[in-house]
Amino acid sequence: MSEEPEAPEEAEAVEAEEELELPAVDADGGEPSVPEEPDFQDLYLRAAAETDNVRKRARRDVEQARARGVAHLARELLPALDNLDRAIASAEAEEGNEEHHLTKGIRLVQQELLSALTRVGIESFSPDGEPFNPHHHEAMAQIAVDGKESGTIVQVFQAGYRYKDEVLRPARVSVAS
């Protein structure tokens, strides 16, 4: 036979009984456990610490991006600085006099550029007489020199540049053999 459909009131009563949740009982059968209220102070401290970490990370990321930008710009400017050195050497060789107006002007531009690089933390280094370090120097030649220990830099062809701890361009040198 066919079952009769339940009356709407009976269906609602069955659903209400299904939704009714009984409190959880401890494993030992004692008092029912009540959900604890969240520790708002702990949550606040955790959120404050996370916010502080985000700020620190953002500052560090900005500083690293700034350093990469400065280093990139310096690498682009170093060839121009080298060309100024060559122009001064050429003008002095042709004139035979260091006091010519053209030479003074070129030297002034060179000094301004070097000063600008120094202000942002870029420094030139010329390692004459120091021990050779492949991380800071590029050996262009080896020369037998009396009185110099092997591995000592005896001549600097081109100065190196560094920004903080990063070598932007190694110094090009000759090393005693």
115 and 134 together in one domain:
no
Per DSSP bridges, beta strands 122-125 and 166-169 are unpaired
101 and 155 together in one domain:
no
Query: What residues make up the domain containing 114?
Result: 38-120
pLDDT tens figures, 76-93: 999 999 999 888 888 888
96 and 131 together in one domain:
no
Most confident among 37-46, 53-62, 92-101, 125-134 (mean pLDDT)? 53-62
56 and 102 together in one domain:
yes
Burial string for 71-82 (b: 16+ CB within 10 Å, else e) reads beebeebbeebe
What's the pLDDT score for residue 96? 65
CB atoms within 10 A of CB 3: 5
145 and 173 together in one domain:
yes
| Among 103, 120, 137, residue at a domain's last position | 120
Q: Which residue has the higher pLDDT, 56 or 102?
A: 56
63: helix, strand or coil: helix
The arithmetic mean of pLDDT across residues 104-123, rounded, is 92
CA distance 128 to 146: 16
| Within a domain: 64 | yes
96 and 134 together in one domain:
no
| Among 80, 98, 120, residue at a domain's last position | 120
113 and 145 together in one domain:
no
| Within a domain: 48 | yes
114 and 133 together in one domain:
no
pTM of the model: 0.64
- Number of domains the chain is built from: 2
80 and 137 together in one domain:
no
42 and 116 together in one domain:
yes
100 and 142 together in one domain:
no
Per DSSP bridges, beta strands 153-158 and 137-143 are unpaired
46 and 112 together in one domain:
yes
Contact 169, 138 (CB under 8 A): no
CA distance 20 to 13: 11
